[in-house]
Structures are given as C-alpha cells and as structure tokens.
Structure 1
Amino acid sequence: MGKFADRNKESPAKLKAFLGNLETLVSEDRKQYYEILTKFDFLEDKINHYNFGVEALIRDYFLIEDLEILNNLEANEKLDSEKVKILKLIQRALELSAHVLNQDPNQLIGQLWGRLQSFPQLEIQKILADAVQSKSETPRFRPITASLTTPGGNLLRTLTGHNSFVLAVAIAPDGKTAVSGSDDNTLKLWNLETGKEISTLTGHNDSVTAVAIAPDGKTAVSGSDDNTLKLWNLETGKEISTLTGHNGWVRAVAIAPDGKTAVSGSDDKTLKLWNLETGKEISTLTGHNDWVRAVAIAPDGKTAVSGSDDKTLKLWNLETGKEISTLTGHNDSVRAVAIAADGKTAVSGSDDKTLKLWNLETGKEISTLTGHNGYVLAVAIAADGKTAVSGSNDKTLKLWNLETGKEISTLTGHNDSVSAVAIAADGKTAVSGSNDKTLKLWNLETGKEISTLTGHNDWVRAVAIAPDGKTAVSGSIDKTLKLWNLETGKEISTLTGHNGWVRAVAIAPDGKTAVSGSIDNTLKLWNLETGKEISTLTGHNGWVRAVAIAPDGKTAVSGSDDKTLKLWNLETGKEISTLTGHNDSVTAVAIAPDGKTAVSGSNDKTLKLWNLETGKEISTLTGHNDSVTAVAIAPDGKTAVSGSNDKTLKLWNLETGKEISTLTGHNGYVLAVAIAADGKTAVSGSYDNTVKVWDLQTGKEISTFIGDSPIYCCAVSPDGLTIIAGDSSGRVHLLHLEGG
C-alpha cells in the first residue's frame, strides 16, 4: 500500500493527542493504544457518530507503522509482534470493507463478522463479541460463518464509482494514483492509498476503452468508441486536446517513454502515431487484416508491438512506420500485449485462453502460459520482467512466473470479466478493472485468504432450507448440489449427477428428499440422507430454471426455457401434465400451501396463477417492466411476492390478481425472494450484492446485508431468523437476523 505522504510528520505528541481524543470518545481510562484501537465501541462511534469516516479510522491504524512514534513510546506502551498483527488484521478488514462502509456505516458489524471470525486471537473474538452486544434500534444481519473475503489475502481494496464496465486502467509512475476508463463514457482518477475517487474526466461521447499515463504522471491519453483520443491534464482534470483521425473505435493506446508521442490501435485495422504536443497525427501503420486490440511501446521508444483480431502480433519500427515482423501462434484474437522492461520480450493474451511469451529479436514464441478458462483480456509485466499478471473473462487474474511459464497464484474477487490490469512500478501491487463496474487493488506478495464457507467452485444459483431449519441445500453452475449443516456452517455432502448448471432446488416437507433442476433439461430427485440420486425426471425441451414441491411431498412443479411448466409425480417420476401460456422462459415457480394452485414468473414480464388440478391458467399478473426472476407465496396462500430485473419486488393479491404494493430499494436485478413463515416479512437477493429484509405490511426495508458478490438466491428458516444466500463467487452466506 505504501505510506501516506505525511506519515513521517506524525509524532509522539500526535499519538498522545489521538489517545486523548479516544478517551473522550469512549469514556475509558488511558490504555495501550492497541487496546483502544481494537475496542468495538470506538470502531462503531468513529464511523457512525463522529463523522470521521472509515478512511480516517484506517489512517489511524497506520500509526503502528510510524517508527518515530514507536521508538518514543514508554516501555509499558511497547507493542509486541502479536499485537501489531492483530491491529493489521483489523485495519485490513476495514480496508476490504471501506467501499461498503462508505455506502452504509451500519454494515460495520456484518462486515467485521463476515471477515474476522475465522481468526482465533482473543482480542479479535472480543471485538466480535462486543459487536453482538452493541445495541441496535433495527434488525441487522450477522454472518454465522466467515463468508466474506478475509484480510491477509491478495485483495486489498475495492474501488467503486463507475456506472458501467471498467475497460481500462493505468497506474501513475509514483504508484499513488491510477486512472480508469469505463463504458459509462468517463475516466476517473483514483487515490490508491485511500481508495477514493479524486476526479472524474468527462468529454468522450462513447465508451472509454483505453488509457495510458505519461511518464511524468501529469497527463494521460484515453481512447474511445467515439473514434477519438483525448489528452488530459490529471492535475486539473481538464481535457487538453482531442486527437482525431481514426475511422473506427479506438481500442488501445500507449505513450512513448519520452512522453511526447503516443500510438493508438483501432477497429479501422490501423495504428496511428501521434505528436502529443501538437495533437497531430505523425503516421499511420497498416498491415493488420482485422481490428487492432492492443499496443505496447518498447522502452527505447523506437518500436511497438500490436495485437489484432487477425490472430497475429506485429512488431513496428516507429521511426519509419514500417512493419518489422509478424508473430504468429495464437489461434484466436489477440486482446492484450505488454513489453518487458528490457525490450527483448513481450507477453500477449488471446481469446484462445492462453498467454504467449515472445522473443522480439527473433519473432519466435518462447512459451505458452495456460490456465485461464476464458478469453485473456489484459496483461501487464512487472518492472523486473520476471512476473506478469493477466485478466480474463473467467473473472480471475493470474500471476505468472515468466522464467518458468508457470502460474504462481490466482486472484479471485471480481464478479465479472476482468478487462484491464496494471502493475505498480514497485511490482508489489496491481490494479484491475472489471465488467462488475469496480476496480480492485491487489497485493502481489501475500498468500491466500483464510478459508471461507465457499464449497462451490462457481455461481450458487439456488438454495433451500429444510422445514426443521437445521439443514440447507445449495445448487451451483459447477453442476453440483451441496447439503449444509446450518448450525455449524459445515458441508455435509456433495450431490453429483447433473451434466449442466444446477439452476433450481426445493426440499420436500419431510426434509428427506430434494428436487433439483438443471440446464441439462432434467430434474433429479435426491435422497438427502444418503446423498444418492433416486430418479431423473425428463420431458422439458429447455433449461429447467425453477422447481417447487407441493406440501404433501408427492408432486412437484418445474419451469423451463421451453416456456412451459410441468407437474410431476415424485413417486413414479412421471409427468402428470404440462401447463402452457407463457411467451418466454419460465424462471420462477411457487406452490400455494393448499397444494391446489401455483404461481409462475417468466421472462415475458408476467406472473401466472395456475389451477394444478385442471392445469389451467386462472389469471395473469402484470406490472413488472422486465423479466420476473423470483416468486414466493405467503403461508396464508392469499398473497405472493415477486422479484424482477426491473430492480423491484411486488406484493400481489392472488384472489384479485392485483398488485398491492411495489418494494423499491435494490440498485440491481432482484434475483431471489423468500417469505418468512409468519407471512409478515420477505427476504430478497440482488445483483447489487445485497440481501434485504422487508416488512410486507408497510413495504419498508427492515435490514440489509452487503456482500462481496451478486446474490443469486436466498431462503429463510422457519423461525425467520436465519437466511441462507448464494452468490456469484460460489460462496454460501449463513446470516442471522438479530437486534431491533
């Protein structure tokens, strides 16, 4: 992370003043400052009541790194290594949570429990215990297990602010700031030490797809789908000039070491060399047969390497504008390229899911780096030339040893394609940009995070809780289901057999069996006691997206991409009837408590109420403005709640087919909904990373939990106090609702 610019200005006097302020805030006698810094009341007060903000609190923790202060502490105030370790863990947990706490300081308890409870240190456990005892006027979520990213791993911070995909990123030479470009047509300048946005640069009329910072760190050049490049003054945030000449989207840009010229690559199949002082084009480099996606300039400023959709890289002489050589070997589009500091080697990334290391003097491939499961969209080489970092649409970054061609580690945390990456000059940190709209700051030297309740290797798309509230089942696009012990948070067993993503799951009323639906077009009936498959139900002609089991446990209803619902006899595994009427995929289904009716939701934006005895449609419920993704029926069978991609939930009167109210508050698609057994509250999960609890009588939000990834599914225990939710990282969150 580096040190704050004024760190060395701190003094023992500053520390004593700081301690004095803490005495006033928490009404405590003076203690060793590690004890005060780890006191939960202080954490909560500093963020909530005294308006210092989480960044100020994080900064206070840097006092433990100030040698001048530490050397002047009295003997009885000296810190041992274990106390420093504890302080750093708390500080790093706060850094990981900063973007959440800046959004909602009331998330402090959930964030600390979600990140720290795996650590056994007594001081940390005391903080968590104090957190539980702290008073709350409203209900709040407390994670039962450490299901958020824990401190000590590679991820340091998450930077939020863009409204769309982050497509480009560059780090300033001093390593303190970075510039990002986004599909929201803007660039943002960031302070990497605080994670705060410094300024927003506006002027482009379309997506900003490329950015480079000049060696002096004072200016930057961006490329855009508006066919232009812009030169920016980073100190003022103002545009200096616009560079025009390309006839297609500008996909790549690099600035020469002297800061006077730049090279851009475009969908018009050309590269252009620009004079940044005049804003004029110097020359056009032609030779590629398809879009130019990537470009890098060698340290001597005389040559450049480009990558193209024509599957090749080309080495160019910038003084003559002529092609020197063509590098062939990739089997698909070349999306990224970086040149090592010695100018002799380069690394490229491709849609063929590989990276290649090249000898630029011979034009020959040195080695191929394999490991990504998706397109390689970005690559950067560390200053020492020994390691590289790549980003992929498999949502991961990988750190590579270029000397051996082997993967060193995988960095996980993004929820969508990683489209940009840059490494700081010291080689210790990297910044990535993603289609999840965030940037993340990584420590390339650390180990892995403490294990969390993950279990699945990919998105968790379905969850259900058994009637006794003691176990739950989750389904994932890793093709498996898992049975969980809700009291311990431990996995009991893994159920395998599907040949495609598991998109739906329901547990029978006796808690002994479950039914799952998959994109392999089948449903499977499982024995939860043995973990074995009982039978496979076939008949759908499309992905099975939803399933519900009737109260008697003898029948089930499924919904599919084939636009139908099917009623099944679970004892025979045979189809009873097919319900037709929707005009698009059936994405959700729930059965009423009497077992006689069901409600379905569809991508056609409607819900339908069905008579299961006749197989006929009773009514159509309209009001959502986008796909209906989830539905649940209240215990009295008279009302239902639906969730939609229009970011709202709706409460419906099933007797009249009319909307009662609309529940607003989510900032992303609502992907899941469940109703508590008392029928008074509902729980929803959303692409905005949140789980929300709602009062159905008032339509008001009661409590929110903010996770690290989009929430795709949720279920609530019979007592309404335990919520299980699955997210796109593969994590399963067990949340306890308490307080208020």
Structure 2
Amino acid sequence: MKIKMLSRNPDDYGRETKRDIQRLPRNYDPSLHPFEAAREYTRALNATKLERVFAKPFVGALDGHRDGVNCMAKHTGSLSTLLTGACDGEIKIWNLASRDCRRTIQAHSGFVRGLCVTPDHSNFLSIGDDKTIKMWSLTSPDAGEEEEPVHTILGKNIFTGIDHHWKDTTFATCGQTVDIWDHARAEPLRSFSWGVDSLNCVRFNPIEKHYLASCAADRSIILYDTRGSSPLRKVILNMRSNVIAWNPMEAFVFTVANEDHNLYSFDIRRLTSPFNIHMDHVNAVLDLDYSPTGREFVSGSFDKTIRIFPLDKGRSREVYHTKRMQRVFCIKWSLDNKYILSGSDETNVRIWKAKAAEKIGKLTPREESALSYNDKLKEKFQHHPQVKRIARHRHVPKEVHHLTRQTRIMKDSRRRKEQNRIRHSKPGSIKKKREREKVVVAEQE
C-alpha cells in the first residue's frame, strides 16, 4: 500500500526572531482581498508620516577651522578622508570615521581657492590668493619635521579654480586663462583663452577625460579639449554661473549653479537650451556636486540652505538647514552615496545623511524587507494628494519662506505681463517662449 505524505521544512514557515511563531501562507488571489487597495493606501500614508517623523539628517560637525571653509576635496581612494581649505590659508585633513583632524597645514597667505587629490592618492594640490600652486604629500611628516610642500609653482596671476585629470599627471587651473599643467614642469603645457577677463571654475569630465569645462565672469560656459589648441564651444547665459559639475554616469550631461538662484542641466549635444531647470533656492547658488549614481545632485546656496535635486525633476526633494549655519561655500557628496559634506562661512564642516530618515548601521533581514515594502507603497501612492502633501512638506527658515513667497509673486507678475503683451499685440508679432528657451542668450563655436 502506497501512502503519500506532505513534507515541509519548519525553517520555511518560522520567523527569524521567534521560531515558535509560525508564518502563515497567503493566497494572493485578488478576489479574496477586496479591501487590499484601501489597506495599502493606509500603510503608504503611515509610512510617509513615519518617514517625516524619523527624518533627522544631521550627523555631526567637524569643528577646528578659525575662518570660513572656502573649498573642499574628496579623497578618491579613502572614504574616511576629507580635505578642507579655509579663508585664512589653512588646510585640514580630516578622518570622518573618528571625526577628528589628522593634519593642519598653513599652506597659503590669503584664501585657499581650490584643492584636488592626484589619481595615485599620494599627493594633493592646492591654490591660493598668493598666486602659487603647491603640491603636498598625503602622508604625515615625521615628528619634529615642518610641513613643506613637495613642489611649488609660482604663477603670474591669481588662480581661482583647480581640477586634476582622472588618470594622467596633468591638472588644470583657471584665473585669467585656463592652463594645463604637468607635475614635472613649472610652466603650463598650454593655455586657453576666449576673450574673458576671469574664470571662476574648471572641471574635467570623469568619463571623457580629455574634455573640461569652465565658468567665466562674462556669464559664459566654455568647453575645451586638452588635445586641441583652442576652446571648442561657448554658451552665454543671462547671469553668471559660479560652479559647473559633470554627471559621473553620463559623459554629455553637466549642471551649472547660477547667480539667478537656479541650477541648469545641459546636454552638450544641444546647448541651445537646458533640458531641465532646478528651482527652489532663493539666493545665488555657490556650489554643487553629483551623487556617485548620477541620478541626483546636492547644492549649497547663499541663502544658508542645502538642497538635494533629482536630475529629472525641477524641484528639490530635500532641504537641510540649521540655526547656526551661514552661507554654504562648498558641498560634496560622499563616494559611498550615503553622506553629504558641507562647509560654511561660520568655520564648520557638517556631515548630513543623503536620505534623512535612513537608519545608520546594519539592518536585520526583517527590517530590510519592511523598508523595501514601505518604499514600494510610497512609490505606488506618491501622486495621491495626501501622500504627496506630507512627503513634500518641509519647515524652512522664516527668511527663506518669505523670499520664496516673494519670488512666486514676482514670477506670476512677469507671466501675467507677458500674457497681456501677447494679447494686446498683433497676432504673431510676439512669440511666446518657454522658460527653458529664455536661459541661453547666445552660442558660439
């Protein structure tokens, strides 16, 4: 006689925390769960509320500078190392894991204008108002020895920006011209100029490594190729751009931080207009940096706030601020995509979480599955009015709130004036322009 038996592994039906509680199988037939959508909406609403309850983005501060933090550089080979330069010429090397300063170097007389780490992670470069480029070793000197630069280059003009090639021993500086240097030479390999008095920022493309871009004082953005002898293209905007940042995952995308409170994302294949305008700041944007994934970027502004923007959206998903934080001069996104580092005018370097409600530390499998389920629910109901209202609501300083309302009134007034002009003019005499078409004034090659 043949007897059929059901054999089940108890581990598949027991919980990971308490083995005496049995997990019940579930039938996913929608006809058996007529109230599933209502239950999921309630869970999505609760998950959105709890996300705002647990949103505590501030992690800690690195206090040690005696003057405002003017520039910052990430160490591409070490997640726990950060370099900062102050307005008094002082450079500090920090250990982010222990939040203490490992070295202090009095590098320049005047502002430290820029820092960058070499690709071999052995040295770093600094520029200042004293017209010098100095190379320093990243290894600490022996006890009793003075901090001396490995190499010093004396320039003819003040340098305002520096960036290193991602593979070679060449680096670029900007001032009155964009100069390409080599570690072994005291004179630039070549210089680029295009009728500009001064340039603010220069950045190498992390993917197409021979391309670089700079922002100039005449409101222009200039593209270069280090293998050529002259600049490639020039785009002039309505107002001056302070900083440019390349997308680390898409070689043809870059974003500029502008004086008109906005950030503009461009595609170099079509520079006649930006493909996205990011609006939420209420004062000049001073710095920005991309996340390692290339999907988001963070910006610091003169309005004393930090904002995180998705690349494909025009509004920020997060705003960070504190009572003591002043104008944010420099901002960086950590290479592990988890933290944001900001340097401001009141001498502090602050550490923030990239996701405000994210739990720091290791998660249990049950926590991971619960958080993943909540994220899917929030994504499913993200366009529902109540969920959207709670997810977007942020408390901002009173000054930022008033300026935001004032900016909205000004935009509505300009839009109304343009509509009235079109309405009372001859049909077809005035062409209505989209907001993106108003940004670029001219393009030159």
Q: State the alpha-carbon separation in 1 of the partners of residues 343 and 279 from structure 2.
A: 21
- 1:457 equivalent to 2:397? Answer yes
User: In the superposition, relative to structure 1, how do residues 318 and 357 fare at CA in structure 2: closer, same or farther (>3 Å)?
Assistant: same
- Cα-to-partner distance string for 1:616-662 (whole Å, 9 max, x where unaligned): xxxxxxxxxxxxxxxxxxxxxxxxxxxxxxxxxxxxxxxxxxxxxxx
| Residue 704 of structure 1: aligned partner | none
User: Which amino acid in structure 2 is aligned with residue 396 of structure 1?
Assistant: T
| Residue 172 of structure 1: aligned partner | 75
* 3-state SS, counterpart of residue 323 of structure 1: coil
| Residue 244 of structure 1: aligned partner | 154
* 3-state SS, counterpart of residue 231 of structure 2: strand
**TM-score normalised by the chain length of structure 1:** 0.40
Q: State the alpha-carbon separation in 1 of the partners of residues 396 and 240 from structure 2.
A: 31
Q: Residues 309 and 316 of structure 2 are in contact (CA less than 8 Å); yes or no, is this contact kept in structure 1?
A: yes
| 2:218 corresponds to which of 289, 307, 310 | 310
- 1:293 equivalent to 2:196? Answer no
Q: Residues 133 and 155 of structure 2 are in contact (CA less than 8 Å); yes or no, is this contact kept in structure 1?
A: no
| 1:354 corresponds to which of 250, 262, 265 | 262
Q: State the alpha-carbon separation in 2 of the partners of residues 411 and 218 from structure 1.
A: 34
| 2:291 corresponds to which of 358, 371, 382 | 382
* 3-state SS, counterpart of residue 395 of structure 1: coil
Q: Residues 329 and 343 of structure 2 are in contact (CA less than 8 Å); yes or no, is this contact kept in structure 1?
A: yes
Q: Residues 308 and 318 of structure 2 are in contact (CA less than 8 Å); yes or no, is this contact kept in structure 1?
A: yes
| Residue 169 of structure 2: aligned partner | 260
| Residue 537 of structure 1: aligned partner | none
- 1:436 equivalent to 2:340? Answer no
- Cα-to-partner distance string for 1:103-149 (whole Å, 9 max, x where unaligned): xxxxxxxxxxxxxxxxxxxxxxxxxxxxxxxxxxxxxxxxxxxxxxx
| Residue 100 of structure 1: aligned partner | none
Q: Residues 326 and 363 of structure 1 are in contact (CA less than 8 Å); yes or no, is this contact kept in structure 2?
A: no
Matched ranges for 1:370-409 at <5 A: 370-409=279-318
Structure 1 residue ranges without an equivalent (≥5) = 1-74, 77-149, 460-475, 480-740
Q: State the alpha-carbon separation in 2 of the partners of residues 344 and 197 from structure 1.
A: 37
User: 1:477, CA displacement in angstroms?
Assistant: 10
User: 1:203, CA displacement in angstroms?
Assistant: 2.7
| Residue 184 of structure 1: aligned partner | 88
User: In the superposition, relative to structure 1, how do residues 424 and 218 fare at CA in structure 2: closer, same or farther (>3 Å)?
Assistant: farther
Matched ranges for 1:325-724 at <5 A: 325-329=233-237, 331-341=238-248, 342-364=250-272, 365-413=274-322, 415-447=325-357, 457-458=397-398
User: Which amino acid in structure 1 is aligned with residue 89 of structure 2?
Assistant: N
Q: State the alpha-carbon separation in 2 of the partners of residues 166 and 201 from structure 1.
A: 14
User: In the superposition, relative to structure 1, how do residues 280 and 430 fare at CA in structure 2: closer, same or farther (>3 Å)?
Assistant: farther
| 1:219 corresponds to which of 99, 104, 123 | 123
Q: Residues 162 and 184 of structure 1 are in contact (CA less than 8 Å); yes or no, is this contact kept in structure 2?
A: no
User: 1:332, CA displacement in angstroms?
Assistant: 2.0
Q: Percent identity?
A: 19
- Cα-to-partner distance string for 1:179-233 (whole Å, 9 max, x where unaligned): 0111011111011112111101223111102111223333211121112221111
* 3-state SS, counterpart of residue 93 of structure 2: strand
Could you say which structure has the higher strand fraction? 1
Q: Residues 430 and 443 of structure 1 are in contact (CA less than 8 Å); yes or no, is this contact kept in structure 2?
A: yes
Q: State the alpha-carbon separation in 1 of the partners of residues 172 and 396 from structure 2.
A: 44
Q: Name whichever of 215-224 and 182-191 sits farther off.
A: 215-224
| Residue 56 of structure 2: aligned partner | 153
Q: Residues 278 and 313 of structure 2 are in contact (CA less than 8 Å); yes or no, is this contact kept in structure 1?
A: no
User: Which amino acid in structure 2 is aligned with residue 308 of structure 1?
Assistant: A
Q: Residues 188 and 200 of structure 1 are in contact (CA less than 8 Å); yes or no, is this contact kept in structure 2?
A: yes
How many residues are treated as equivalent by the alignment? 308
* 3-state SS, counterpart of residue 232 of structure 2: strand
Q: State the alpha-carbon separation in 1 of the partners of residues 186 and 140 from structure 2.
A: 19
Over 4 Å off, 4+ runs: 476-479
User: Which amino acid in structure 1 is aligned with residue 262 of structure 2?
Assistant: T
Q: State the alpha-carbon separation in 2 of the partners of residues 286 and 279 from structure 1.
A: 20
User: 1:448, CA displacement in angstroms?
Assistant: 9.4
- 1:210 equivalent to 2:101? Answer no
User: Which amino acid in structure 2 is aligned with residue 419 of structure 1?
Assistant: F
* 3-state SS, counterpart of residue 282 of structure 2: coil
User: In the superposition, relative to structure 1, how do residues 228 and 186 fare at CA in structure 2: closer, same or farther (>3 Å)?
Assistant: same
- Cα-to-partner distance string for 1:394-442 (whole Å, 9 max, x where unaligned): 0111111002233111111362110111112222212111111111111
User: Which amino acid in structure 2 is aligned with residue 347 of structure 1?
Assistant: T
User: Which amino acid in structure 2 is aligned with residue 306 of structure 1?
Assistant: S
- Cα-to-partner distance string for 1:137-165 (whole Å, 9 max, x where unaligned): xxxxxxxxxxxxx9852221111111111
Q: Name whichever of 174-183 and 210-219 sits farther off.
A: 210-219
- 1:276 equivalent to 2:216? Answer no
Q: Residues 276 and 312 of structure 2 are in contact (CA less than 8 Å); yes or no, is this contact kept in structure 1?
A: no
* 3-state SS, counterpart of residue 164 of structure 1: coil
User: Which amino acid in structure 1 is aligned with residue 292 of structure 2?
Assistant: A
Q: Residues 91 and 107 of structure 2 are in contact (CA less than 8 Å); yes or no, is this contact kept in structure 1?
A: no
Q: State the alpha-carbon separation in 1 of the partners of residues 402 and 193 from structure 2.
A: 44
Could you say which structure has the higher helix fraction? 2
Q: Which structure carries more relative contact order (alpha carbon 8 Å, separation 6+)?
A: 2
User: 1:279, CA displacement in angstroms?
Assistant: 4.3
Q: State the alpha-carbon separation in 2 of the partners of residues 257 and 380 from structure 1.
A: 16
Q: State the alpha-carbon separation in 2 of the partners of residues 151 and 215 from structure 1.
A: 39
Q: State the alpha-carbon separation in 2 of the partners of residues 295 and 321 from structure 1.
A: 17
* 3-state SS, counterpart of residue 407 of structure 1: coil
- Cα-to-partner distance string for 1:465-486 (whole Å, 9 max, x where unaligned): xxxxxxxxxxx9969xxxxxxx
* 3-state SS, counterpart of residue 220 of structure 1: strand
User: 1:458, CA displacement in angstroms?
Assistant: 3.6
User: Which amino acid in structure 1 is aligned with residue 205 of structure 2?
Assistant: A
| Residue 587 of structure 1: aligned partner | none
User: Which amino acid in structure 2 is aligned with residue 225 of structure 1?
Assistant: D
Structure 2 residue ranges without an equivalent (≥5) = 1-16, 19-52, 142-146, 360-393, 404-445
User: Which amino acid in structure 1 is aligned with residue 66 of structure 2?
Assistant: N
Q: State the alpha-carbon separation in 1 of the partners of residues 297 and 66 from structure 2.
A: 29
User: Which structure's CA Rg is the greater one?
Assistant: 1
- Cα-to-partner distance string for 1:507-530 (whole Å, 9 max, x where unaligned): xxxxxxxxxxxxxxxxxxxxxxxx
**TM-score normalised by the chain length of structure 2:** 0.65
Q: State the alpha-carbon separation in 2 of the partners of residues 401 and 313 from structure 1.
A: 22
Q: State the alpha-carbon separation in 2 of the partners of residues 404 and 288 from structure 1.
A: 35
User: 1:302, CA displacement in angstroms?
Assistant: 0.5
Q: Residues 166 and 182 of structure 1 are in contact (CA less than 8 Å); yes or no, is this contact kept in structure 2?
A: yes
Q: Please, what is the CA RMSD of the aligned residues?
A: 2.6
User: In the superposition, relative to structure 1, how do residues 160 and 279 fare at CA in structure 2: closer, same or farther (>3 Å)?
Assistant: farther
Q: State the alpha-carbon separation in 1 of the partners of residues 195 and 339 from structure 2.
A: 34
* 3-state SS, counterpart of residue 343 of structure 1: coil
User: In the superposition, relative to structure 1, how do residues 425 and 478 fare at CA in structure 2: closer, same or farther (>3 Å)?
Assistant: same
User: 1:259, CA displacement in angstroms?
Assistant: 4.5
